[in-house]
Chains A and B, each alone.
Chain A
Amino acid sequence: AQSVTQLDSHVSVSEGTPVLLRCNYSSSYSPSLFWYVQHPNKGLQLLLKYTSAATLVKGINGFEAEFKKSETSFHLTKPSAHMSDAAEYFCVVNSMDSNYQLIWGAGTKLIIKP
């Protein structure tokens, strides 16, 4: 069965420093993986997706993620954090069952220090 684990519930970085949000997955298929972002009191928005094309995926707002099959990881990175990046980030895997249900991680809250 598919599952996803976000390794940190909170990550705190200073503005202008790199961001790393970690995600590991378990899947019996070649997975489709996603990162969603949720700003305070806002709906969830797709940040980027991996669907078996290039392993390095670029998303919105300067974020990118690398699919590493050998490590079963899909970590989210950004070279330089901005105050507006403060939000909750969810790693998601497509279960690929008959209904294509999404399996959600518990989320990582990104805190940006001035």
Chain B
Amino acid sequence: EAGVAQSPRYKIIEKRQSVAFWCNPISGHATLYWYQQILGQGPKLLIQFQNNGVVDDSQLPKDRFSAERLKGVDSTLKIQPAKLEDSAVYLCASRPPWRQLTGELFFGEGSRLTVL
């Protein structure tokens, strides 16, 4: 079975520029997550989707971050304008309905953002 796909793997931009990350979850996984992982820290949840609806975006900095999941499959996370503190790895994860209680997530390899 194909895993969670993310692109690009690496991105370097200057502050105040914009960037977009794309995620294709495992087929059939209704729940999709975007996490931010700053070097030396555990992942921090940015947003959770259930199909194409937002379940939790309480930790998403909405003045600069946006995310969408059109048609309940692929998802895009955008940052505009970027700040230095946005340098991190952005992880996409998905979960099938039958794994909801166990909490097991399937992660992509992440998109590493460097803001100069």
Contacts and interface: CB of A to CB of B under 8 A. Distances in A.
Interface of A: 32, 34, 41-46, 49, 51, 90, 92, 94, 99-102, 104-107
Contacts of B41: 106-107
A49 B104 contact: yes
Q: How large is the interface on B (under 10, 10 to 19, 20 to 34, 35 or more residues)?
A: 20 to 34
Contacts of B56: 99, 101
B107 A45 contact: yes
Q: Please indicate which of the listed interface residues B42, B43, B101, B108 has the most CB atoms of chain A within 10 Å of its own CB.
A: B42
B101 A51 contact: yes
Interface string B100-116: 11111101111000000
Interface of B: 3-4, 40-45, 48, 55-56, 91, 93, 100-105, 107-110
B107 A44 contact: yes
Contacts of A106: 40-42
Nearest to A100: B100
B75 to A, nearest CB: 16
B42 A32 contact: no
